Structure 1
Amino acid sequence: MSSGNNNHWTGGNRIELLENGEQFFPRVFDAIRKARREVIAETFILFEDKVGLQLHAAMREAAQRGVKIDLMIDGFGSPDLSREFIEGLTSAGVKVRVFDPGQRFMGQRLNVFRRMHRKIVVVDGERAFVGGINYSADHLLDFGSKAKQDYAVELAGPIVGEIHQFVLRAIALGGKGAGWFRRRLKLAPPVNQVRAGEADAMFVTRDNRRHTNDIERQYRAAIRAARKRIVIANAYFFPGYLLIKELRRAARRGVDVRLVLQGEPDMPIVKTAASMLYHHLLHAGVRIYEYCDRPLHGKVALMDDRWSTVGSSNLDPLSLSLNLEANVIVRDAAFNQVLWERMDRLMQHSCKQVEAADLASEWSGWRLVRSFFVFHILRWYPALLGRLPRHAPRLTPAEATDLASRRGSGRSDPAGGATRTEAA
Structure 2
Amino acid sequence: MKRPWVDGNNVELLINGEEYYPRVFEAMSQARAEILLETFIIWDDKVGKQLQQTLIEAAQRGVRVEVAVDGYGTGDLPDTFVAAMTDAGVNFHAFDPQPRLIGMRTNLFRRLHRKIVVIDAERAFIGGINYSGDHLGDYGPMAKQDYAVEVTGPVVAQVHAASRRLMSPVLEPPSELRPVTEPTGNTTAVLVERDNRMHSTDIEVQYLEALRSAKHRIIVANAYFFPGYRLLRELRNAARRGVEVTLILQGQPDMWWVRALSRLLYNYLLRDGVRIHEYCQRPLHGKVALVDDEWCTVGSSNLDPLSLSLNLEANLFIRDRSFNQHLYEHLSSLSSEKCKPVTLERMIRGYWWRAPLIFACFHLIRQFPRIAGWLPAHRQRLRSLQPEVQPQGDLNEGNT
User: Once the two structures are superposed, what CA deviation does each residue of 1:313-354 show, in whole Å capped at 9, x if it has no partner?
Assistant: 000111011000000000111110011011001001100000
Q: Which of the numbers 122, 126, 140 marks the counterpart of 1:126? A: 122
Aligned residue in 2 for 1:100? 96
Q: Which of the numbers 370, 393, 398 marks the counterpart of 2:380? A: 393
Aligned residue in 1 for 2:398? none
User: Once the two structures are superposed, what CA deviation does each residue of 1:49-76 show, in whole Å capped at 9, x if it has no partner?
Assistant: 0000000111011110100000111110
C-alpha distance in 2, partners of 1:386/1:75? 19
Aligned residue in 2 for 1:301? 289
| Identical amino acids, percent of aligned pairs | 51
TM-superposed CA distance for 1:239, in Å, is: 0.5
C-alpha distance in 2, partners of 1:116/1:389? 18
TM-score normalised by the chain length of structure 2 = 0.94
C-alpha distance in 1, partners of 2:157/2:201? 23
User: Once the two structures are superposed, what CA deviation does each residue of 1:181-204 show, in whole Å capped at 9, x if it has no partner?
Assistant: xx735x32x321110000000100
TM-score normalised by the chain length of structure 1 = 0.89
Q: Which of the numbers 197, 204, 219 marks the counterpart of 1:216? A: 204
Q: Which of the numbers 10, 17, 24 marks the counterpart of 2:6? A: 10
C-alpha distance in 2, partners of 1:44/1:38? 20
User: Once the two structures are superposed, what CA deviation does each residue of 1:287-320 show, in whole Å capped at 9, x if it has no partner?
Assistant: 0000000000000000000000000000011101
Tell whether 2:243 aligns with 1:255: yes
Tell whether 2:347 aligns with 1:359: yes
1:33-182 equivalence runs, <5 A: 33-173=29-169, 175=170
TM-superposed CA distance for 1:165, in Å, is: 1.1
Aligned residue in 2 for 1:194? 182
C-alpha distance in 2, partners of 1:110/1:392? 12
1:74 maps to a residue whose letter is D
C-alpha distance in 2, partners of 1:22/1:379? 36
C-alpha distance in 2, partners of 1:166/1:145? 35
Aligned residue in 1 for 2:360? 373
Aligned residue in 2 for 1:270? 258
1:243 maps to a residue whose letter is L
User: Once the two structures are superposed, what CA deviation does each residue of 1:104-143 show, in whole Å capped at 9, x if it has no partner?
Assistant: 0111001100000000000000000000000000000000
3-state SS of the aligned residue for 1:242? helix
Aligned residue in 2 for 1:184? 174
Distance 1:25 1:212, change over 3 A: same
TM-superposed CA distance for 1:390, in Å, is: 4.7
Aligned residue in 2 for 1:244? 232
TM-superposed CA distance for 1:398, in Å, is: 2.0
Contact 2:9 2:184 in 1 (8 A): yes
1:89 maps to a residue whose letter is M
Contact 1:101 1:401 in 2 (8 A): no
- Structure 1: runs of 5+ lacking an equivalent: 409-424
3-state SS of the aligned residue for 2:271? helix
TM-superposed CA distance for 1:381, in Å, is: 4.7
C-alpha distance in 1, partners of 2:183/2:331? 29
Q: Which of the numbers 308, 316, 322 marks the counterpart of 1:328? A: 316
TM-superposed CA distance for 1:403, in Å, is: 9.9
3-state SS of the aligned residue for 1:251? helix
Aligned residue in 2 for 1:230? 218
Contact 1:260 1:291 in 2 (8 A): yes
2:219 maps to a residue whose letter is V
TM-superposed CA distance for 1:365, in Å, is: 2.3
User: Once the two structures are superposed, what CA deviation does each residue of 1:202-234 show, in whole Å capped at 9, x if it has no partner?
Assistant: 100000111111101111110001011110000
3-state SS of the aligned residue for 1:399? coil
3-state SS of the aligned residue for 1:104? coil
